[in-house]
Amino acid sequence: MKQPLLLLFALFLSFAAYAQNAQNMTATYYNYSVPKGLTAADYKRAVKGYSDVLAKNPKDANAYVNRAKAKLELKQYEDAIKDFNSAIKYKPTDMDAVYNRGIAKIVLGDFRNALADMSKVIKAKPQDADAYFSRAYSKMNMNNPKGAVQDYNIVLKIDSTYTEAYYYRGVLNSQLNKEKEACADWQKAAAFDDRAAKMLKKHCK
């Protein structure tokens, strides 16, 4: 899934300091992707900062997106979806918001609506391997293994190094009684994925 999230704001400001003072910043400085790996306190400050920005400009799509991303890190998935909805309302072409809304839906087990979001991203960005992967994962959880395999095939056509796609396609191929194909997938993933290595050892000679 889309990692790492890139930091695009002023070079000399740390994220924590920025988030704490976001209400004082102009749009030029807060249009960035929320970085991962910070503390819960950092993300809470980010939420507060973006809330202050939105109090002044309630139609700022970028602020909604970035507040939603901070909420994702805090595992506030339903609230994050509400913010992504607002972002998309004011900026319908923001596929980053649509994609991340789909990720939140996957976490909540709403695979049908996650699939719809990923399909929107794919329509706009047909070479987005992450969107295909997430749609495949949704299909897999909706008991559509053949459809999931088709999407994993596209993922690997776009990016032949996408380890997780090999692992999950292997799982699905095994369920479809295509053991040779499953073993080939796990073989390609085994060096980088312990799950694939275990499946290879258990099911393949």
Per-residue pLDDT tens for 25-77?
A: 323 233 345 666 788 999 999 999 999 999 999 999 999 999 999 999 999 99
Q: What are phi and psi of 21, to 5 degrees?
A: -115, 25
Q: How far is CA 122 from the centre of its chain?
A: 13
Contact 30, 5 (CB under 8 A): no
- Sorted by where each starts, the structural domains of the chain and their CATH numbers stand as 8-108 (1.25.40.10), 111-205 (1.25.40.10)
Read off the amino acid at residue 149.
V
Radius of gyration of the chain (CA): 19
> For 157-178, what is each residue's pLDDT tens digit?
999 999 999 999 999 999 999 9
Can you give the pTM of this predicted structure?
A: 0.82
pLDDT tens figures, 83-138:
999 999 999 999 999 999 999 999 999 999 999 999 999 999 999 999 999 999 99
Token output for 119: 């399909």
Burial of 114 (0-12, 13-18, 19+ CB in 10 A): buried
Distance CA 14, CA 91 (A): 27
- CA 173 to chain centroid: 24
